Structure 1
Amino acid sequence: MSSESETETEIQTLPLDAWHRGKGARMVPFAGYAMPIQYAADHGGGIVAEHEWTREHAGLFDVSHMGQLMVTGENAAAALETLVPGAIASLKPGRVRYTLLLNEDGGVIDDLMVTNATPWIDGDEETGTEGHWGEPAYYLVVNGATKWDDIGHLREHLPDDVTLTHMDEQALIALQGPQAAAALTRVMRGVPESLVFMQSTTHDFGEWPLRVTRSGYTGEDGFEISVPAEFAQGLADRLCAEIEVRPAGLGARDSLRLEAGLPLYGHDMDENIDPVSADLTFALTKKRRETGGWMGHEPVAKVLEQGPEQKRVGLILEGRLPAREGAEVFVGDRQVGRITSGGFSPTLGHPIAMAYIDADHTGEGTALEVAVRNKRLAAKVAPMPFVPHRYYRGS
C-alpha cells in the first residue's frame, strides 16, 4: 500500500489521532495523513516489539487512511469487470477477492480488495414477502495515497447506472495476529467463528454498525473492521482492553508485510509495471485471462505469452546489513535489477528484500550481489513468503 512525500499543509488527521498521541505514538506523514509509526515503550511499543507482539499475540493497526468505496447497481459487477481482471460477477455474497485496477497499457493503477456486499433482505410473514438479495453492492478497499485517483478513474469509466460512494465517514481498524480471533470473540461473540479467510459480514455491535472481514496485510490471521468514525475510539479501547491486544504502527506493519512477501503499492508496483512482472498472475482470474474484456488485457496477455523482461522476486542477504529501496543488484559487473523493498527481518534474524531482477536471473537460489554503502553484499533469490502465511481457512 503506498506512501508519498507531503508538505505540512496537506497532512490530514485520522479519527483516532488523539488516541494514538495519548499512547505516545510517534506520528509521521504517510499517504496524506499523520500516521503512527510506533508507540512509546511504556505502551509495549517500538517497531520490533510491535512486530513480535503481532506475530505472537495480536496487534491493532489503524488503517483509516485507506479508501473505502461502495459500488452499487444492477450492472455493478459487469461494470467492474471491465476495469479489473478478477472475476467479480461470480463472487458470492460475503466473499472477498484481491484484484487490480489497470490502465490501458496493463500497468497497475492500484491493488484493492473487492467484497460482494449485496445485502440480504429478510422476509415479512405478515405481508407474505419472502427473503431476497437486495441491490447488488460491492465494497472496495483501496490504497490511501491513490484513493482520489482511483475514485476519478472509476467515475470516469463506470456507466451512469452504477453508483460510486466514497465512505469517507468510516474508519478502518485491522486486528492482526494468531490471538486476534480469541480477542475478537470476547468483544463480538459469534463473528470470528463464522468467518474464514477472505470472507466478510456486517455486524451490529450495540450502536456500532460494523463490517468485519477476515483478511489483512501481515500474513497472520486477522480481521479488518470498518466502523463509523465517531465510534472508532470506543472500538479501539474495547479491543485493547483484551490482554492479547496492543496497538502497532506503520513500522511493524511494513516489516510484517515484507516477511509475508506482500507488495507495497508505489514501491513494488506502479503504473509502469504489469501484473505478470509483479508476480501477481494469481490476481488474473484464469478464465478472464483468455476471454479478456478488461482494461489492459491485450498488453498483459502479450507479457503472459512472451514472459516478462524482469520479475519481482524475494532476496535473502548475508550478514546483518539491510538493503533498502533503490539499491542496485548485480551479477559480476552487470546490473540485473533493483531493490524495491528491503529491511531486517525480526522473525528470521537476517535481512530480506524484494527486487525486480532480469528474468534469466530469477531462479531460486541464484547468487547475486547488492550494492549497499559502497559494499557488495552477497544475496540469493528466495521464495516468498519469507515467513509462512497463517491465514485461517477453516478447521
Structure 2
Amino acid sequence: MRRLTRFSREATRCFFHVAPVALVFSSIVVFLVYAPATTLHLRQLNSDADPLQDPSPPPVNGSLSSTVLAAPPPSSPAEVEGIPVRAAVDPRAGGGRVKKSSVFLDGDLFLEDYQEMNRSLKIFVYPHRRNESFAHALLPGYFFKTLVRSHFITDDPSEADFFFLPFSITALRNDPKVSVGGIPDFVQRYVSEIRRRYPFWDSSGGADHFYVACHSTGRSAMSKTPEVTVNAIQVVCSASYFLPGYVAHKDVSMPQIWPRKGAPPEVRSTQRSKLAFFAGAMNSRVRQQLLVSWVNDSEIFVNRGRLPTPYSEALLSSKFCLHAKGFEVNTARIGDAVFYGCVPVVLADQYELPFSDILDWRRFAVVVATHFQWHLPARDYDVFHMVMYELWRRRGAVSLPLPATAADA
C-alpha cells in the first residue's frame, strides 16, 4: 500500500484522501466527513438560569429557515479557507431552524410530523426517590434533566405515548452499592418492580418504554432482562449493528455532545498546521494500520498513548480528525472534534449515525445543524427535541411476547 508522504497544494483542496486505508480495509463502508462546529457553537444559558421559566411548548413556525448552507458540499475545506465559518451562517435564523431542502431526507414530512409531535407527545416518568441511583450522570443525566422540565411530561399515564425508565447506567456503574457486576441484577429487580406496581409494561410488552444508556456498560446491563433488549427502546450514544442488543429502527442513536459554556475557538483553516490527526489506543486493525501508514508523516499526526500536548491543542491545529473504530466508535471524541472545528472523518463498519433516518448526512458540508446542540431550556430542533421526534416515530411499534419463564409463574 502506498504510503502517503506529502500533499501538494492541490491535494489539500480535495476532500481528505482515504485510499490508503480503504485499499487495506475493504470492510470500511462508512466514510463520513461532516462539518466543524466552529460554524455553530453550543449555546447554553448561564448555569444559574431557571430552565423551568416557561414549561409551555415553544412556538413552531410553519417553515424552516436556513442555518445550514443549502449549496452542495464544497470539494474541500480550502473553498472556505480564511473565512470565519460563522460568516456562512444566516444571522437571521434564530438558531433553531434549518432549511428543509438542505439536510432532511424529507423536509416537508419532517416539519409536519415534528409539529404534531411537539403538540401531542406525552411521556410518563416512573416515580423514583431522589436518593436512588437514577438520572444524575453525564449525558443521560442531562437528558433526564431536560426531559422532566419539558412540556412532554405528563403525570397522567393514561395519556402517555411512552414511559421513561429513569435509571442511569453510568450512575449505577459508579455506585459502590451496585457497581458494574450488579447492574444486570439491579435492572432485573427494577423491571420486575414496575411490572408488579404498574400495569403499563405488560400492556405493551415494554414496546412503549425507553431508557438512556451512553456508557458501554449498557451493552451488558440487560443481560438478565431479555424483554427489555427485545422490546424497549434504547437511546444509545454508540449505535453499531455489531453491538449486542442494539436493534436498528427500534433503538435511537443520540449524538454524544456535551453542553459547553462560551463560544468555540475561532481558528481558521489556514491557521491549522496539520492535515489530519488521530490519537487513541491501538485496539483495532484499522487503528493499527493508521499508525503503520502515517506514524512518520509530516502532515498527518497519528499518536498512540498519551499526547505530548493538550488534546484540545491537537484538535485546534488539525483540519481533519480521524475517528477509527476501536472497541467502538467514540462519539464523545466526535463531539470534541465538532466543537474545536476539526472536521471528523468516521471510519467504522455498520455504524448508525445519529438521526440517520431523518437527516441526509451526505448533505452536511460546512455547517453542523442545530440538531447537534443542547440547550436549557430545550429549543426546537436541538438534540433533545430530535430524540423526542425519534421516539415519536416509534410510537406505533408492535412488540412480540416472549415465552413465559419460571419467574413469571
Q: Which of the five TM-score ranges fits, normalised by the shorter chain?
A: under 0.3
Q: Which has the higher strand share?
A: 1
Q: Which has the higher helix share?
A: 2
What is the TM-score of this pair, normalised by structure 2? 0.23
Bigger relative CO (Cα 8 Å, ≥ 6 apart): 2
